[in-house]
């Protein structure tokens, strides 16, 4: 991961960790389940955005390098990731 | 949320928080992106399982009580939750 | 399924079938893959909306009836559906 | 799309169309909603598998060609596709 991507990803991760701390407090204070669930959905979406950042860096870095050097393994990995992301 | 559900949900949440700490270390130690992504997918699946636990408690508690007392609002909420979960 | 829900669901299904026929034509005419993929994503979202309609009818019909008659099986099914929808 | 991929994709599409015809019959014959929903979930998963086939062909074809000829547009598209797939 290049430094810019890593910086952005860690920033998003800190936000996600903070969000989960908020979820923990909601559960401990017996907040209405439906409101807690809406927050955990938001956490999952935030994780997806972080994944998108990482994937973008990966595609522009390792995948481009791999293709240029004739390493087809990066392509298999990329398709596997797509399948895994939704499973 | 009843006490049993809350206990189980908090246990799963602790696991998720630990998993994210592991993800943070992987990123800081510059682990290969694809391996980090596989872990964040696993985190999202763990959150979905935690949601399922909460939903189960909600359905057996608030939804049953709501229907028995003629409060249709819980039904609208339930359908909204299904839509939101995937959006 | 009550008649109103069935009517709406069949209408959405007809739209989805038409959309897939369009996808078939795109593939046969060698449309750019990325454009085909965007259409299949839209088809999946249309199916999710149709599911939401069905679920809404189910919750307001069978689930309410089940709870009122003391049949807890509808609750297990409901939680299973939630898990299956995302798997 | 190369011929082999197109052949496989059209085969999967035919299966999906047949599956939806089955769903239509289930709805017309007033099958229990929960059983219909399980089938529409299966249809969505079948569409995802078809998408994965198309993406695999796209990555191995257009993306490789694009990168080799210095066209970065294919990379932006690829990241967008991952985001769109889940939205």
Average pLDDT of the residues in B13-40? 97
Average pLDDT of the residues in C17-44? 97
pLDDT tens by residue, A19-41:
999 999 999 999 999 999 999 99
User: Is A53's pLDDT higher than 80?
Assistant: yes
> Considering only CB atoms, which chain C residues are within 8 Å of D54?
33, 36-37, 40
Instruction: Give first-to-last CA distance, chain A, whole Å.
Output: 25
Name which of D2, D17, D34 to mutate to probe chain C: the one with the most chain C Cβ atoms within 10 A of its Cβ: D34
Distance, CA of D77 to CA of D23 (rounded, Å): 33
Interface touch D68/A64, C-beta < 8 Å: no
The model's confidence at residue B83, banded by pLDDT at 50, 70 and 90, is confident
Distance, CA of D85 to CA of B51 (rounded, Å): 22
Average pLDDT of the residues in B4-16? 97
Name which of B51, B82, B83, B84 to mutate to probe chain C: the one with the most chain C Cβ atoms within 10 A of its Cβ: B82
Crossing angle for the helix pair D33-58 and D3-28, to the nearest 10 degrees: 170
In degrees to the nearest 10, what's the CA dihedral of A61, A62, A64, A68? 130
ipTM: 0.94
B21 in C contact zone (CB under 8 Å) = no
pTM of the full structure? 0.92
- Distance set, CA D23 to CA A21, C3, C53, D33 (Å): 43, 17, 15, 11
pLDDT of residue C56: 94
D86 in A contact zone (CB under 8 Å) = yes
A10 in D contact zone (CB under 8 Å) = no
Crossing angle for the helix pair C3-28 and C33-58, to the nearest 10 degrees: 170
Interface touch C37/D17, C-beta < 8 Å: no
Name which of A61, A67, A70, A77 to mutate to probe chain D: the one with the most chain D Cβ atoms within 10 A of its Cβ: A67
D85 in A contact zone (CB under 8 Å) = yes
Interface touch C68/B67, C-beta < 8 Å: yes
Instruction: Give first-to-last CA distance, chain B, whole Å.
Output: 24
Measured from the Cβ of residue B4, the count of other Cβ atoms closer than 10 Å reads 10
> Considering only CB atoms, which chain D residues are within 8 Å of A78?
59, 78
User: In this complex, which of C60, C72, C82 lies closest to B75 when CB atoms are compared?
Assistant: C60
Closest alpha carbon to A86 in B41, C50, D77: B41
How many CB contacts within 8 angstroms connect chain A with chain B? 100
User: What Rg, from alpha-carbon coordinates, does chain B have?
Assistant: 17
Closest alpha carbon to B56 in C85, C82, D24, D56: C82
DSSP state, residue C68: H
C80 in B contact zone (CB under 8 Å) = no
pLDDT tens by residue, C36-87:
999 999 999 999 999 999 999 999 999 999 999 988 899 999 999 988 887 6
pLDDT of residue B86: 75
Q: C27 vs chain B: nearest CA distance in angstroms?
A: 27
In the predicted model, what is the mean pLDDT of chain B? 94
Query: What percent of chain A has a predicted confidence (pLDDT) above 70?
Result: 99
Q: Residues D72, D74, D78, D79: is their CA dihedral positive or negative?
A: positive
Interface touch D79/A52, C-beta < 8 Å: yes
Average pLDDT of the residues in B62-86? 90
Q: C50 vs chain B: nearest CA distance in angstroms?
A: 11
The model's confidence at residue C1, banded by pLDDT at 50, 70 and 90, is confident
């Amino acid at each position: 991961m290049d430094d810019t991507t890593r910086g952005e990803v860690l920033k998003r991760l800190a936000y996600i960790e903070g969000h989960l701390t908020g979820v923990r407090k909601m559960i401990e204070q017996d907040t209405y389940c439906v409101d807690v669930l809406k927050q955990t959905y938001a956490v999952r979406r935030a994780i997806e955005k972080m994944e998108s950042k990482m994937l973008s860096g990966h595609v522009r870095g390792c995948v481009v390098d791999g293709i240029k050097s004739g390493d087809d393994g990066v392509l298999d990995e990329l398709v596997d990731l797509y399948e895994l992301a939704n499973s």
